[in-house]
Every structure is written in structure tokens, then in C-alpha cells.
Structure 1
Amino acid sequence: MRISDKLREKIEEQIATGELPPGCALDEAMLVEAHGVSRTPVREALIQLASDGLIEIRPRRGAVVASIGPARLIEMFEVMAELEAMCGRLAARRMTEDERSNLRAAYKACEVARAAQDTDSYFYCNEQFHAAIYAGSHNKFLCEQAFQLQRRLRPYRRLQLRVRKRMGVSLKEHKSILRFITAADADSAAIALREHVVVQGERFGDLLASLAELAPVATN
């Protein structure tokens, strides 16, 4: 893996965990010093992060972690929900037995993380669960679009797991999704995934409350 790719993943992870909150400035010189690399891979990493929509590069002001308004955020989750529903529908019809086994293993890993009340581990296991569904759709273009938007929403999907009881609810929803996909029930799988991902009602209010906690940090 190239140095710039490793650095991009590291910065992406810091954004996802809230270590680099929305509005945080990304100074090239500081990144060079912090990661012990030259300016070239830093610039390449920032360009890639900007293309993914995770940061914004502003003329004469440098790079900052992107901020999304509530209206835009709900629109993005709506699209993500539809992409996941499409993946689930196709996965229920097309998954091989090995791919179903991978999905079951990802669900079991989520169970372990939930039992340990480890939100970080659950977040990564959750990503593996969804990635298994994307792969099972056997539609490369759909997978590419789903992964691209997933990366863009990664910090916000992670914030959702901080909400009390959300991890347990998520696991129950995973159980239903797993059941429908392994039973080749395409329509039910699509509905379950759409409802699992879309953010509305109380869930949207909870997400906004979590975002508000980051606001003072983002304005420093």
C-alpha cells in the first residue's frame, strides 16, 4: 500500500472517530510532522479525501474536515438507505453459500461486540456485515456507489452508535436482515435494510444531539 493511501486511511479513521471533528483544519506542515512523511503523500492523501467528500480544500485557507447541514445529511441517508435496500434485494437472490457463511460470521462478530458493549468494535463489525451484503449483490457498480457513500457517511454512522441502546437495536435489525437474506426473501431483505439505514424521527433527533456535542470542538 502506498504511503499516501496509508495516510488517507489514518486521517479517515480520525474523522470517523471524531478525533478530527467537522470544521477542523488540516495543516499540511503539521501532518508532515505528525506522520513523519514528506509533503507529497500528504497532498495526495488530502486530494483523495476531498474526492471522497470527507474534507474540503479551500483556496488560500487549506483543508478542513467537511461539515454537513442537517437537511443535506438526511438526504444522504435517504440515498444510502435505497442503495443498501438494492444490495439486500440482490444479495438475497444471488449470494453463494460461502457468502452467506461470511454474512453469518459478520453477524456473530457483531454479537460479540454488543455483548462486550464495545462500540468501536461493533462499528467495524457492522461495516463488515454491510460489506458482505454489498459483495453478495454481485453488482460491482452498485458496490462502488454504496462504498463511496458509506465512506462519506462514516463519521455520522459511527456517531449513531453512541446513542443509548442503539447498538442493541442495530443488532436486532441485523438479525432480521440475516434471516431474510439467507431465506432468499428479497423483498423483506430490501425493506429491512432500508429501515435499518434511513435516519428519521427520533433517530434523526438523536443524531443531531450527537453532532451538537462536537460543535464546540469544531469551532475552536
Structure 2
Amino acid sequence: MPALLEDPSTRNAPPPAHTNAANTLLPRHLTLPKHPSTKVTLYPLANGPSSVPRDLIRFLHAEFNAEIVRGNTYPMEQAMELEQFAEYWFGTFAVVAVLDDENESHGLREGREWESVCLGTFYVKPNYPGRCSHICNAGFITTTAARGKGVGQAMGEAYLEYAPKLGYKYSVFNLVFANNPASIRIWEKLGFGVIGRVPRAARLANSEELVDALIFGRDLGV
């Protein structure tokens, strides 16, 4: 469920309100819409890759690169190296969704079986630099084991909770490909609208023709 545009090797500084707010955000506890007995916690992460379990980064790196190789959703053509991915995804602010562990008070720790307990992740970062840094975008990964369980919508709702608290005023998703109806349905359900269209924007593996990209936008209500 990608929404990115920026060069992975660069990073725009977040708005001034971001730094003070990021470390005050609390985990979000929920049950999945399609599986109400499944308890999930979404953990906000604001202190860079060093605050994330290393084996979790390796797992998400593999999931992300597999999505790039499939060639249907992200614009990149080349897989990322591990360290580049870690900084790209976790360098500004990110959230990881994992199944609750009844025996532990915190579900983000080394040694968990991430293939079965990690449901997804998303980052939040500025879409533009400087005076426009209060406009954000996000990138999403729903893990292979979690697809079809309503995780994408749950992460979208969490995004709408966290982003304004980080100082962002408006959200732009730059590249939502027109042949990705599942992603489009989620954003429309969450109040996003199409604010632009880029004709023939992408060469995708699941289309013989060039695919248009939709630009979605939404006021964050602050």
C-alpha cells in the first residue's frame, strides 16, 4: 500500500512540532475488523533503527524487497540493502503492528517469530522539505501472513491518529496505482480523495500497459 515519491537516499526534516511529540505517543491497541478475537498492538517508533529489534528489521527488509521484486505496488526496481532500508523506513517515524503476547508487557523484542506475529508496518515522513514539511506521506507494508485480515485499514486508521499529533496538517499519497483497487478502497473509506492523476506513470509487472498513478489527499483536521 505504498504512497511514496521521494528518493530513498534522501530524507526531509520533519516539522518543528514533530520532535517533541514523537516520543509522547502511546501504543495503539485494537482488534482486527475481520478477526475480532485477534488482539494487536501498534507500536510507534521515533528513535531510529537502533530502537527496533534487529531481527525484526531483517524480516521487514525481506518483506519489502519481495514486494519490490513482485513489481506491482512500489516504484523501485532494485532491492534495497539492509542498512539503507533500516534508515529509510525507521529514520523519521514508523509504526509496527504485532500480535499481542500474553506473557510479555512489550511485544517488540528480539527473538519473536516475526513471520507469524508481525502483521505490518508503516512510516510517516514529510512529503516536501522546509516550509512545506507539515505535509506528510506514508508507506505501508502488510506482511504476507497478514493479508486479507483488515490490517491495512487498521494501519490507515492509526496513521490518521498519529500523523496530526506529529505536527502534520495534510497528507498526500503520491503514487497509488490505478490498478490497485484494495488500496484505493481503503483510502476512500478513510476520507481521502483523488487530488490528481499522473497518466501512464508506471511500468508494473501486473499490466501490459503503463498504469496511471492517483494522487490522494486528505486534511488531517488540525
Relative to its length, the structure with more strand (as a share) is 2
Flag the structure with more relative contact order, 1 or 2, with Cα contacts below 8 A and sequence separation at least 6. Answer: 1
- Give the TM interval when normalised to the shorter protein: under 0.3
Q: Which has the larger radius of gyration?
A: 1
